[in-house]
Amino acid sequence: MNKVMPLIRKELRYYANSAVAYVVGVVFLVISAVVFFSANHFVAKDQATLRDYFGFMPFLFTVIVPALTMRSWAEEQRQGTLEILFTLPYSEWKLVLGKFLAPFFLTAFLLALTLPVPLSVLPLGHFDIGVIVTEYIGMLLLLAASIAIGIWISSLTRNQVTAFLVTAAALLVLTLVNQLATLTALPGWLAGAINYLSLSYHVDSFVKGLLDSRDLLYFLGLTSLFLFLNERSLVLRKWR
């Protein structure tokens, strides 16, 4: 981890000096707060639950994550600095981890900034703190998988706009694909397979406060898969 920290700091410095990170942060916090207090009519519902709030998060991430990952490798390729990275004493895995952990730490920080929202309504009902903790764990796992997908897509193009659009489309499809099984009369095995691919299907357990090992394995496996694909794409590019 110590060997990866210089790469993480380099990426975090970029975010600190970039207007994009601040715009993304403000948009994320404002929209999440508006959704909680207005769109979901929390007070009117008179229910001690945050399901609607966290249930909207996957859709918000389809915009937030691509905005933070689009430049990850695309900008390095456009500027020709990727070759310089290959000359540094870092393996491809360490380069990938550096690119992955920086936006993950940033988005985890933004997620932590939403804590005042649920805390502000705790006196209004008998909330289960364990459920809220589980919901935040689910959001972190969803962020990890989404970021891994985003930086892999960024490694396939030199254009940041292309990386943003493809990542947003991919995350939206993976979020909504389970609706296909709900709205159509599919065979049970096919509906199960489609549901298994869906991000929202697996995050739904966390939103309900359930910590299911199958969902944990899904997110950890998906994150590992796309980090592996990212590392392979760097290896192929290095030897071209």
Domain boundaries, the chain: 5-238
Question: Which residue's entry shows tokens 């254009």?
Answer: 159
> Cβ(147)–Cβ(107) under 8 Å?
yes
- Altogether, the residues listed in the chain come to a count of 240
Distance CA 102, CA 15 (A): 9
Q: pLDDT digit string (tens) for 56-101? A: 899 999 999 999 999 999 988 888 888 888 888 888 999 999 999 9
Q: pLDDT digit string (tens) for 184-227? A: 766 777 877 888 888 988 999 998 888 889 999 999 999 999 99
pLDDT bin (cut points 50, 70, 90) of residue 106 is: very high
**What is the predicted pLDDT for the residue at 46?**
54
**What is the predicted pLDDT for the residue at 161?**
94
Which tokens sit at 122? Answer: 């705790």
Distance CA 174, CA 46 (A): 32
- With CA atoms as reference, report the closest residue to 171 among 99, 94, 226, 234: 226
The answer for residues whose C-beta is within 8 angstroms of residue 142's C-beta and 6 or more apart is 57, 58, 61, 199, 203, 219
Percentage with pLDDT > 70 across the chain = 90
